[in-house]
Amino acid sequence: MSRSSDSKPLASGPDAAPGVWEVEPNPAPARPSVTFVAHPDFRFMRSRLSHWIALGFGAGLSRFAPGTVATLWAWASFLVIDPWLDAMGWGVLLALGFAAGIVACARTGAALGKDDHGAIVWDEIIAFWAVLWVLGQGANQWAAFVLFRFFDIVKPPPIGWVDRTFKGGAGVMADDLMAGFMTLLTIALWRTI
C-alpha cells in the first residue's frame, strides 16, 4: 500500500499491524470569493446570455443613471415592438421576460458581487413594458415614465418593504413590478378626479 502525504499510521507500537494506514480527508476546497464589480463593461456582458439580459442589452452599462437609461430603452423598444404583438403576444413576452429575469438577475448579481447591482436593469425594462402595455398609446406615457422613475428611486411603502423583504432574482424583479403597479394605480386615481 502506498503512503500519501495526508496519510498517517492507524496505530503505532508493537501491536500495530504493518501496512494499515488511516487516510485523512482532504479539506474542502475554499469557495471562490466574489469581488464587487463597480462598473461592468461590455466584455463582462458578452460573457453570458444571462448578463446580456440582466444588463438590458447594454442599457445597464451606462455610468450615469442606468435605471433611467433602461426605462428609456424600454419605452423606445416598446414603441418598436408594440405594432407587432397583440395582447396574447405581450402577455407571453412579459411572462417569459419575468421568468428569464429572475434567473438572469440572480446569476448576474452573483457574478457582480451584489444581488441588486445598479447595472442590473432588466427589472426596469419588464416592469415599464408592462406599464406601457396596460396604458396603451397616448400622452399618459410621459406621466408614466416620470411616476415610474419616482417610485423606483424613492421606493415609498410598500415598494421599500418588497425591496427589503424579497432577495435574489425574484426580489430584484418584484420591487420594480410593484413600482409599475403603483404607477398605474396613481394614473388611474388621477383619471377619476
Q: Cis omega (within 30 of 0) on the bond before 158? A: yes
pLDDT, mean of residues 50-59: 96
pTM (2 d.p.): 0.79
What confidence tens digit (pLDDT) does each residue in 1-39 have?
A: 555 445 455 555 555 555 554 555 565 555 555 577 778
The neighbouring-strand residues paired with 23 are 7
What phi-psi label fits residue 168: left (phi over 0), alpha (psi between -120 and 50 degrees) or beta? left
Contacts of 117 (CB under 8 A, 6+ apart): 37, 40, 108, 109
pLDDT, mean of residues 38-61: 93
Cell output for 130:
408592462
List the chain domain ranges. Answer: 42-192
Q: In this structure, how many other beta carbons lie within 10 angstroms of the beta carbon of residue 171? A: 20
Query: In the prediction, which pLDDT does 39 show?
Result: 85
